[in-house]
Amino acid sequence: MRKEYRFDYSKARPNRFAMRKGERLIVANYYLAKPKSGKGKGVLVLHAWWGLNPFVKKFCDRLAKEGFIALAPDLYHGAVASTIAEAKKLRDTHKPKIVGQEIAQAAAQLRALCGGNKRTIGVVGFSLGGYWALWFAEQKTSAVAATVAFYASRNGDYRDSPSAFQFHLAERDDYVAASGVKKLAKQLSAAGKDAEFFTYPGTSHWFFENDRVGAYNARAAKLAWGRTIKFLKTHI
């Protein structure tokens, strides 16, 4: 019999949620940023393979200044990588079923913070987080109205997805195949989904992340940020 994960409100604390897997309790932290009013539309932020690092937290803070409630789950449970070797090791410890359930529970927590289960949300993911954002948006019950993926792609069946999509892609990318992006674009078009694809000249993977020396491109990042905010405000 398939084991179910469920939110355990009795163990929940501020900036933390808990799930039960059978008799096992899994506790995960998240970073939360709210606008001064305390109210706003929700955006789930999924970190890259580096983990829930300062860049992701600052990104959430920026979203809050734009009027959103931003929640970023810590999918590595406290671990943060600073090198590619460390990041690969952390990524390889991922258990897809558990990660998927943690994302779903984080989204449920965000929707509760935004006023309840009738609320739709947005999701923004970077690299590995972009892959998971696309996975979550594919789920019919995700309540995701807007999905933004930075340098990420994922093949899937998006016919039942409730989301519109926006992609920010690097001109040169050793991690995202152009053929995969083309296939994804065809899948979204066939599914009748609203999808925008932006490729930024002179950029490489991680161009949006200002803590990635050698990859960060300030001009492209500024343009991508403006497009992201406009997209989220339009679709959520």
pLDDT tens profile 67-125: 999 999 999 999 999 999 999 999 998 888 889 999 999 999 999 999 877 789 999 99
Is residue 165 a contact partner of residue 149, using CB atoms and an 8 Å limit?
A: yes
Amino acid residing at 203 = T
Q: Is the pLDDT of residue 15 over 70?
A: no
What residue segments make up the domains of the chain, in order of their start? 5-235
pLDDT tens profile 212-225: 999 999 999 999 99
Provide the pLDDT confidence category of residue 32 given band limits of 50, 70 and 90: very high
> What's the pLDDT at 91?
93
E-strand ranges in 47-131 read 68-73, 121-126
Superfamily of chain region 5-235:
Alpha/Beta hydrolase fold, catalytic domain (3.40.50.1820)
CA-to-CA dists, residue 150 to 133, 153, 165, 180, angstroms: 10, 9, 11, 14
Provide the pLDDT confidence category of residue 17 given band limits of 50, 70 and 90: low
d(CA 236, CA 227): 14
Least confident of 69-73, 112-116, 159-163, 168-172: 112-116
> What's the pLDDT at 9?
32
Mean per-residue pLDDT for 132-158?
96
Q: Which pTM was predicted? A: 0.89
> What's the pLDDT at 115?
87
